[in-house]
Amino acid sequence: MRDITILVVDDESRMRKLIKDFLSQKEYKILEAGDGEEALKVFDENQEKISLILLDVMMPKLDGWSVLRQIRQNNKKVPIVMLTARGEEQDELFGFELGVDEYISKPFSPKILVVRVEAILKRANGEENKVIDYGGISIDTDGRTVKVDGKEIEMSLREYELLKYLMDNANIALSRDKILNNVWNYDYYGDSRTIDSHIKKIRHKLGKKGKYIETIRGVGYKFEIK
């Protein structure tokens, strides 16, 4: 599909083949890795063309968390989807702190996996071409970049989408439920505290301008320049 390459990382060859078979039907190009060390090697050699990573958590040599950390040290933009049998809320919050964009829990329907991959890629690639600018924070929706006073800052896909949603709705108090429905939509069913975790990271990255994101007690958040 349009020269889009996906890296599938899982120590089970049967799982990799299942995912590859379904994604290949949509003409995606697939790269594979059977453990964490191989995943880093494949990514380093192909990161310019990899559009998305499907990453298992439990693997030999290096687990998914370790792979995630190392990739995020140098690349904040490539969407990373964790494939995990774990359903614990704290595990998911931990992953979002590290820069996970989505979770897909095993066992999953391959057809649903394809739908979610397509939705993530659509958001990551963006379909608009305009720049939103409020108070020195600018978002280029074509390049999916964020700048503060002209200096580009690195954000994960989910951080970018959350900031954009807040800025698109500037001066409007947004409930956590509304943010979940519009930014995470059907992809995430967890606790709304994941929003608080993302907001904390975004504020830190915005520096002094992080104050534009106001906490509305008992409701949620509002982007407002006073």
- Both 117 and 12 in one domain: the answer is yes
Residue 174's domain spans which residues?
Answer: 131-223
- Both 119 and 141 in one domain: the answer is no
- Both 35 and 120 in one domain: the answer is yes
Q: How far apart are CA 152 and CA 108, in angstroms?
A: 37
Residue 186 predicted with pLDDT over 60? no
What does pTM read for this prediction? 0.63
Residue 87: pLDDT band with limits 50, 70, 90:
low
Q: Supply the pLDDT for residue 1.
A: 47
Residue 81 predicted with pLDDT over 50? yes
Domain count of the fold of the chain = 2
Using an 8 Å Cβ cutoff, are 155 and 101 in contact? no
* CA proximity to 53, closest of 13, 25, 19: 19
- Both 73 and 162 in one domain: the answer is no
* Chosen domain end from 125, 151, 182: 125
- Both 19 and 105 in one domain: the answer is yes
Between 66 and 93, the more confident residue is: 66
Q: How far apart are CA 191 and CA 212, in angstroms?
A: 24
- Both 163 and 195 in one domain: the answer is yes
Mean pLDDT of the chain: 86
- Both 9 and 116 in one domain: the answer is yes
